[in-house]
Structure 1
Amino acid sequence: MMPARHGPVPFSTALKLHRAFRLKTTSSALGLALAMPFAAQVQAQEIEFDIRAQALPGALQAFGRQAGVEVLYSQDTVQGKNSKAVKGKMQPGQALTQLLGGTGIAYSLQGNVITLTAPASGGALELGVTNINGLANNPTTEGSGSYTSGPMSTATKLSLSQRETPQSTTVITRQRMDDQAMVTLEDAIRATPGVTLQKFTAARPLIYSRGFQVDNLMYDGLPTIYDGDFLPSPDLAMFDRIEVVRGANGLTQGSGNPSAAINLVRKRPTRDPQVSITGSAGSWDNYRTELDAGSALTESGNVRGRMVASYNDKQSFRDVESTEASLLYGITEFDLSDSTMLTVGGSYQNDNNNTSWGGLPVSPIDGSDLGFSRSTYLGNKWEYYDKESKSVFTEINHELDHGWNLRLAAMKTWTTLDNLGSFVRFRANNWEQRTLKQHSTFEQSTYDAFASGPFQMLGREHELVVGGSWRKSVKDTAGGYANIPTDPFNFDPGATPKPSSFSVMPFATSTDIDQKGLYVTTRLNIADPLKVILGARVDWYQFDQDLANGAPAILANNNYKVQRNITRYAGVIYDLDDNHSVYASYTDIFQPQVELASDRSTLKPITGENYEVGIKGEYFDKTLNASAALYQIDQVGRATEVSPCVSGDAICYAASGKVRTQGIDLEFNGAITPNWQVGGGYTYAETRFNSGPQEGGTFDPDLPRHVFKLNTNYRLPGDLEKWRVGGAVYSQNGIFNKDGAAYMEQSGYTLVDLMTSYQVNKNLLTQFSLNNVFDKTYYEGLASYRIGGRSVYGAPRNFTVSAKYTF
């Protein structure tokens, strides 16, 4: 039997395949190709096939894995088609003919590569190679029509399937983004199991996982600091998929919280011309346009490019509030040789938000809801919260000898925030608008280099990754405050003039963070069913900050270093059978902090440790993934305010002891039948103080403990096959916050969304989405204290209609 290929697709192979298949074929020749047997070296072998009837892309992937061949085809060739079931021992040609039965698709073979084409009505047909499938290692989700994906490297730098990764993982594919009409990262977070979103204004999102805030985002595997106050929420038009690994991820990220690694994987260029235009309209004058175009830029295809642009102009269910957002993304790939590829690209995103700095206040007496409607806007017409982000990136991938690969990558981003906004608070027995004027610049640079490949030891082949990274960020912020008397119960957004000065505690900060790290990961093939993953990372971290806000020097050490911090990774995976694996893993991460104790010593870095055991399954030729996990996270050393200080200052800090999260993670993603895709899960997370004066208390009570998320999409059978229907459910338990005797709470709630789409023809797809069908009133962010706390409503019932035309 010819063995299936594993590991990354060699770039030189892809290049040679493209050159080999730049040919023209008449319809008669295609018919002959279907009748001809496979080349002798393939046809002579009989292989045991077991492929269920399903959507054709998934069946072709299963065929390629089982036959050990590569399958190339265009999007239009397989779109909307289903396969026949194939089961039994037979020659690959017989199996493929049976699998394609009734589709009208022809195939041709050259070497070990199969090309599929649809019979032409006459004349010549040029074969377009837009997909390389049939391999378990193809990670691209665009065009797959699936809620599952190929391998990912977010957790360890090793290219592993989700089943092979000993942590809880989720991949939001391009198909799922489109089905749920996701526009920004916030939309994707709402659909991702084990991750929750909070908002403190329309332009200030916070992301949490397993009880802790997500403070890093990764782009194509390069980590960057994420702060929703300063950075625009990434527009999803430029991404192929979102990979999420929950828990501590210090091995690939360096410093951060033990929450989750979120890796945004960009779309790549295509060799064949590909253009799509999408337009949508929705509630509250929500208009959006997207343009996506890719093609080879040279006749040989050794230079390829892609451009994505979007523009979104929308009002809001809140009075006055509006947003204008635009994106421009470009990427080019250069084949420098058969073994070397250079990638360069950049993006620009500009979000102009006419919105306030905060949401709605609660009762200053007991923290109860004051009854404001969802449309209430307690800001002024002159307020804004504008964010601009520019980035450039480059990458070199080089094939070395003996199956080894080298990757060098770099990214630099420049972000600017301009904010003039307010929130209403109760102070000194009076209501006032706390108004902030702020200008910030945030510059980040990330560099990463690693080599990966196989090695032999004790008669078995193992895998190794060795690399290093450097992250540097500089953030400068300046501004001031003004307090304006107001009456929130008789408020007019156009009545208050813009303040002429901001003299109350003006501030300016400059923060410089420099982090360098070296890492190594290995996957040891102990036995056929048993794999062990070991990893380690050493980091050098330096923090420098200049403050000019009148804060006592006792609060922070403005020049802080962490030398040779060691991060560890260990995982064991045991295959129970062809479909199930059990695993156990330990991961950790560190988070430096600058706060000083009362004796003026710097608090040690916070450490976060993730312990996890679970089981994972792959079903229906790996088109459906399912997992169940139990986990525990211990975070030790978080700074908390204490008073009085030994030194006599009003505030100083001490380590808070241990915070522990314990939980359950259940998830499923993929195809149940050829026409039925599902994705969702249930997560439980209980985070409490595990030691110290608050032992047993809830650590962050406004984060839900129980969350259920489900998305499903079904293509109707027979004459109705052009129609798809689907929907989504989000449900969580009640949450609360306490401020002294005051108690702010929100009851549990469930949201339901519905969608339907119609494939007018092979070029035009239309879709209708209805969100919050039952018009549930709920908060996306709950006030955390009664005097100045503010809550933010989620969106009422709303709709979007869209049309996508693909050339």
Structure 2
Amino acid sequence: MTQTKRARRTPINRAVRHCLTLSLPCLALGTGVIHAAEQSNDAVVLDQVVVEGGGFFQPTEQTGQYRAPASSSATGLTLTPRETPQSLSVITSQQLEDFQLDDVNSALESTPGVTVEQPETDRTYYTSRGFTIQRFQIDGVGAPLPYDNVQGDIDTAVYDRIEVVRGANGLMSGSGTPSATVNFIRKRPTADTQASASVSAGSWDRRRIEGDVSGSLFDSDRVRGRLVVAAEDGDSYLDRHGRERQVAYGVIEADLTDSTLLTAGHTWQNNDSDSPLWGALPMYYGDGSPTNYDRSASSSPEWSYWDNEDHRSFVELQQFLPGGWEATLTGTYLTSDSDSEIFYLYDPAQQLRPGTTEDLSIIMDNYRYENEQWVADAQAKGPFDLFGREHEAMVGVNWSQSEITDYSARLYETSDIDVPLDQWDGNYPRPTFGPSDGGSDFTQEESSIYGATRLSLTDRTTAILGARATWLENSGVSYTVARESEYDAEIVPYAGLVYDLTDTLSAYASYTEIFEPQNEVTQNYQPLPPIEGRSYEVGLKAALFDERVDATAAVFRTEQNNTATLAGTFSNPRPGYFNYYEASGDLTSEGIELTLAGEILPGWRASGGYTYLEIEDSDGERARTFIPEQMLRAQTTYQLPFWPQMTVGGQIRWQSETFRDQQYNTGQTRQDDYLVTDLMARYEFSDNLSASLNVNNVGNEKYLNSVEYDQAFYGEPRNVMLTLDWKY
């Protein structure tokens, strides 16, 4: 068998092809840009209040701010940060731009209280408060993650901001998972014409282009459109690894009447990964001593690849009703397809020796995955009067169905690679994969009724009471393991209380319960029982510096039962099941969070937070030790008053040590505490043109991306990105 290197695709052509698919708003908006340019040379000022996703709000784009004035992610009610009885962080449009946070991993790495667990290059898990984040939302509507992870990347060019509600959020997310809910807020069309374009180049031949055009499609302003495209490709610090990513997003909204808004849009994203790490690198030798590879070390041959493609369409109908009420009906259709030929090198027999990679086990797989998902959501909210006071209410119904199929064609061999992995050239013959030796074909269906009310008890006291009732059904087979389960009317209550101590300081408390079915299996391939528990949070929230800065101090506690804990690896695993788990009893997570976001002084913006976290099992021992006990995330920029064209800034990501007990030995895989520092500078040549330089990992810190498993790989070394940005 001969080795072949997969030909590199042309990402620009692919992005253009999908741009043409969404070309109607592009052509119309292009005409609008030319017409507006002929009429005036003045900069366009974006109206601050537009309609999006169920309510009036202020978009963060073009505000230059590191805070959002309101959010509905926690309760479905549009509340200010002080009115929200949970911890909330927002990654704004300006933060995404300042620090080149072009994908969800880099954005969430910068978010207080969130860890990005990346055991492989193209599959990522996220945790908060000690538990896995299992739910994403888009514009407040749930987007279930069938395997609790993201394959490939999610490009952020499509989004105005990302909101993260930490703690259990069963009221809006569909289950009370105690980690966090990540809500992606899409960009929406604007009535005034605006456009932007950027080109970037950086380390490892990384190249990126972005384009964004928005405005009215006709003179009446009653129909508006927006088109966003981005394409990126480049090599990597990892040997043989390269990536391409393209995204296109088109959206049109129309005022059907003065009180009826119809919005429809489509997003396409493609990720192609050459020589991806699947399973990553063994972290210890057969005698238990740690390995120490070069950061560029890779266990992937030249021929391996992992490609992912997503299509997401949505339609939203919003009706504004008398008395300040509004109703929103949303439908979403998603298809996700993954195709890969991947290579896994691991050491279950404890045979890894310095200077060689011989005698290790190899799994090669031709893996294909398809997910077809439908989501429908109907919601109404508005004010009402009772006992002489005005209150708010929200009620909704939600339905989702995911049909998942995947196929695996595996081959097993023993390694004859006679050099260390960081000296290997990736030369390994590509096998001829046969037919599938197993797969999955199952359906996940979920229906919910939810509601909440915000009661104005006194001039200073408000209470939020709510609940969600959920019906769940799983049916089908996953690699010969039955996926059959059904849960009826599982109710998750929610209660919150906010008391205004002063005009700028509030105390709050919240309580909710947890119910979350699990996909992990026991050693007998039986599913684990659902997770159940309770979540509490109390804290203080302040609006500082003339309400330009939001600050929060929170204390939280989560009590959880039946949590899945890795118990071992199957000696002869079925495809799709490397590990088995046990419901290890009770877990308790408790800690504190301190966060701040906003403009401290004119031109000085900051966002960040500190988290202290303790996770204990039923015996009082530290659990989930791959999650750090302490984390610090901070971003800041400053526009120089003596040189206003220049803005400088930086961000830091620090975390305390993490470790895990070795699965096949008596030692530990350990990552000491580490600090990663990024710097940025931007120079504005004019109101329309600027250039920025980002230097990431300035100190060239060497660290592991995750120690959740026995195998891992290192984070990016020092790298740079230069961007030229034009805005109209």
Q: TM-score, normalised by structure 1?
A: 0.79
| Equivalent in 619, 627, 631 of residue 707 of structure 1 | 631
Residue by residue over 1:606-653, the C-alpha shift from the partner in whole angstroms, topping out at 9 and shown as x without a partner, is 11421000000001232101000000011112356889xxxxxxx997
* Conserved? CA contact 2:125–2:150, under 8 Å: no
| Equivalent in 723, 728, 733 of residue 651 of structure 2 | 728
Amino acid at match of 1:130: L
RMSD, aligned α-carbons: 2.6
| Equivalent in 206, 216, 223 of residue 125 of structure 2 | 206
Whole-Å Cα distance in 2 between the matches of residues 134 and 387 of structure 1? Answer: 33
Shift of 1:421: 1.1
Q: Which residue of 2 aligns with 1:247?
A: 167
Q: Which residue of 1 aligns with 2:450?
A: 519
Equivalent residues in 2 for 1:120-135 (5 A)? 130-132=46-48
Shift of 1:206: 1.1
**Structure (1 or 2) with the larger CA radius of gyration:** 1
1:667 is paired with a residue whose SS is strand
Q: Which residue of 2 aligns with 1:496?
A: 428
Equivalent residues in 2 for 1:366-765 (5 A)? 366-428=287-349, 429=351, 430-486=359-415, 487=417, 489=420, 492-501=424-433, 506-549=437-480, 558-593=483-518, 604-639=529-564, 655-689=583-617, 691=618, 695-718=619-642, 720-739=643-662, 740-765=665-690
* Conserved? CA contact 1:782–1:792, under 8 Å: no
Residue by residue over 1:65-117, the C-alpha shift from the partner in whole angstroms, topping out at 9 and shown as x without a partner, is xxxxxxxxxxxxxxxxxxxxxxxxxxxxxxxxxxxxxxxxxxxxxxxxxxxxx
Residue by residue over 1:196-251, the C-alpha shift from the partner in whole angstroms, topping out at 9 and shown as x without a partner, is 10112221111110001111110001111234756432111110011110011111
| Aligned-residue identity in percent | 35
Q: Which residue of 2 aligns with 1:149?
A: 68
The answer for unaligned runs of 5 or more in structure 2 is 1-36, 352-358, 569-578
Equivalent residues in 2 for 1:16-165 (5 A)? 130-132=46-48, 138-165=57-84
* Conserved? CA contact 1:147–1:175, under 8 Å: yes
Question: Relative to structure 1, is the Cα distance of residues 367 and 297 closer, same or farther in structure 2, using a 3 angstrom cutoff?
Answer: farther
Of stretches 191-200 and 473-482 in structure 1, the one that deviates more from structure 2 is: 473-482
Shift of 1:328: 0.4
Shift of 1:547: 3.4
Whole-Å Cα distance in 1 between the matches of residues 411 and 176 of structure 2? Answer: 34
Q: Which residue of 1 aligns with 2:3?
A: none
Residue by residue over 1:567-604, the C-alpha shift from the partner in whole angstroms, topping out at 9 and shown as x without a partner, is 11000000011110000100223112367889999754
Question: Relative to structure 1, is the Cα distance of residues 202 and 126 closer, same or farther in structure 2, using a 3 angstrom cutoff?
Answer: closer
| Equivalent in 207, 220, 233 of residue 153 of structure 2 | 233
2:675 is paired with a residue whose SS is strand
* Conserved? CA contact 1:231–1:415, under 8 Å: no
Shift of 1:685: 1.3
2:171 is paired with a residue whose SS is helix
Whole-Å Cα distance in 2 between the matches of residues 370 and 345 of structure 1? Answer: 49
Question: Relative to structure 1, is the Cα distance of residues 684 and 394 closer, same or farther in structure 2, using a 3 angstrom cutoff?
Answer: same
Question: Relative to structure 1, is the Cα distance of residues 615 and 375 closer, same or farther in structure 2, using a 3 angstrom cutoff?
Answer: same
Q: Which residue of 1 aligns with 2:20?
A: none
Shift of 1:427: 3.9
Structure with the larger RCO, 1 or 2 (CA within 8 Å, 6+ apart): 2
Whole-Å Cα distance in 2 between the matches of residues 270 and 766 of structure 1? Answer: 25
Amino acid at match of 1:132: Q
* Conserved? CA contact 1:163–1:616, under 8 Å: yes
Whole-Å Cα distance in 2 between the matches of residues 542 and 714 of structure 1? Answer: 52
Whole-Å Cα distance in 2 between the matches of residues 603 and 343 of structure 1? Answer: 41
1:283 partnered with 2:208: no
Residue by residue over 1:421-477, the C-alpha shift from the partner in whole angstroms, topping out at 9 and shown as x without a partner, is 122212444213222220010112111111101111111010000111001111101
Question: Relative to structure 1, is the Cα distance of residues 602 and 232 closer, same or farther in structure 2, using a 3 angstrom cutoff?
Answer: closer
Shift of 1:686: 1.2
Q: Which residue of 2 aligns with 1:221?
A: 140
Whole-Å Cα distance in 2 between the matches of residues 436 and 235 of structure 1? Answer: 27
Question: Relative to structure 1, is the Cα distance of residues 151 and 482 closer, same or farther in structure 2, using a 3 angstrom cutoff?
Answer: same
1:167 partnered with 2:86: yes
Whole-Å Cα distance in 1 between the matches of residues 672 and 637 of structure 2? Answer: 29
Residue by residue over 1:111-161, the C-alpha shift from the partner in whole angstroms, topping out at 9 and shown as x without a partner, is xxxxxxxxx9x9989995621369996331011010011211111100001
* Conserved? CA contact 1:443–1:474, under 8 Å: yes
1:294 partnered with 2:225: no
1:178 is paired with a residue whose SS is helix
Residue by residue over 1:41-60, the C-alpha shift from the partner in whole angstroms, topping out at 9 and shown as x without a partner, is xxxxxxxxxxxxxxxxxxxx
Whole-Å Cα distance in 1 between the matches of residues 670 and 334 of structure 2? Answer: 39
Whole-Å Cα distance in 2 between the matches of residues 765 and 165 of structure 1? Answer: 37
Whole-Å Cα distance in 1 between the matches of residues 632 and 153 of structure 2? Answer: 24
Residue by residue over 1:283-313, the C-alpha shift from the partner in whole angstroms, topping out at 9 and shown as x without a partner, is 0101000000011001110000000000001
Whole-Å Cα distance in 1 between the matches of residues 307 and 527 of structure 2? Answer: 35
Shift of 1:371: 1.9
Shift of 1:496: 1.2
Q: Which residue of 1 aligns with 2:355?
A: none
* Conserved? CA contact 2:117–2:708, under 8 Å: no
Amino acid at match of 1:292: D
